[in-house]
């Protein structure tokens, strides 16, 4: 009986793994076919060419971006989750500040490109600039989402926003010479599209890994 249950669990895990792999196989095969046929005249590199340009250097720059984004996540969670918890427990508080928080999200989010020059004047082109840019909006978003009781979703979206703003900050010339955003900007200006796409591919894989990791930790800690 126990052997039957173990075999069934093994089959279920194998099937789940296979179902996860199939979309990637279809995606990469479709990319390869399109790059060699319809889009052959549009400088779209083949998947094989992109794979050849993967390097430890790109992985190093990706790791820098992911680490800084994770540190920013810890900071926004330390502020956003407690505020969200207070809102979740107090409907009066929630009804009072909820509209104001949404106002700030849209206002600051829409004006982020205006705020960046101001931050450059105040703090110069530095990692501090990227840090400040990467936590302002995510703190508000994490507070709003966790205020509705969805803490795990708030954590995942918070990291996504931190990663987005981190990459955007790294792409500013002179801000830093490390990070996947810096490499994306560099490859784009060099018109090195195979390495540009390989950096994007690594970024996607890294983001997927972090999402799985956060989900795993959230399930272990029973965060909802």
Instruction: Give tens-digit pLDDT for 124-158.
Output: 666 777 787 788 889 989 999 998 889 999 999 99
Assign 6 a pLDDT band (cuts: 50, 70, 90): low
Mean pLDDT confidence for 159-174: 84
Give me the residue spans of the domains in the chain. Answer: 1-44, 46-220
Three-class SS state of 174? coil
62-94 pLDDT, tens per residue?
999 999 999 999 999 999 999 988 888 888 888
Measured over the CA atoms of residue 86, residue 90, residue 91 and residue 95, the dihedral's sign is negative
Which fold does the domain 46-220 belong to in CATH? Answer: MetI-like fold (1.10.3720)
As a whole number of Å, the end-to-end CA separation of the chain is 34
Q: What is the pTM of this model?
A: 0.81
With tokens 């889009």, the residue in question is 39
- Whether the Cβ atoms of residue 199 and residue 183 lie closer than 8 Å to each other: yes
């Amino acid at each position: 009986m126990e052997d039957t249950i173990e075999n069934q669990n093994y089959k279920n895990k194998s099937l789940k793994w296979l179902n996860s792999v199939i979309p990637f196989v279809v995606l990469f095969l479709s990319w390869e076919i399109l790059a060699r046929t319809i889009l052959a005249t549009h400088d779209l590199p083949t998947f094989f060419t992109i794979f050849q340009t993967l390097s430890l250097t790109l992985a190093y720059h990706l790791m820098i971006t992911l680490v800084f984004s994770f540190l920013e996540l810890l900071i926004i969670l330390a502020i956003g989750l407690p505020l969200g918890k207070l809102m979740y427990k107090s409907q009066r508080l929630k009804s009072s500040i909820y509209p104001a928080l949404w106002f700030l999200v849209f206002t600051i989010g829409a004006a982020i490109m205006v705020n960046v020059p101001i931050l450059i004047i105040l703090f110069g082109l530095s990692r501090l600039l990227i840090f400040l840019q990467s936590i302002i909006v995510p703190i508000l978003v994490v507070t709003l989402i966790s205020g509705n009781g969805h803490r795990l979703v708030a954590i995942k979206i918070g990291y996504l926003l931190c990663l987005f703003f981190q990459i955007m900050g790294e792409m500013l010339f002179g801000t830093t010479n490390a990070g996947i955003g810096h490499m994306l900007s560099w490859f784009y200006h060099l018109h090195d599209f195979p390495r540009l796409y390989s950096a994007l591919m690594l970024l996607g894989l890294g983001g997927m890994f972090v999402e799985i990791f956060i989900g795993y930790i959230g399930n272990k800690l029973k965060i909802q």
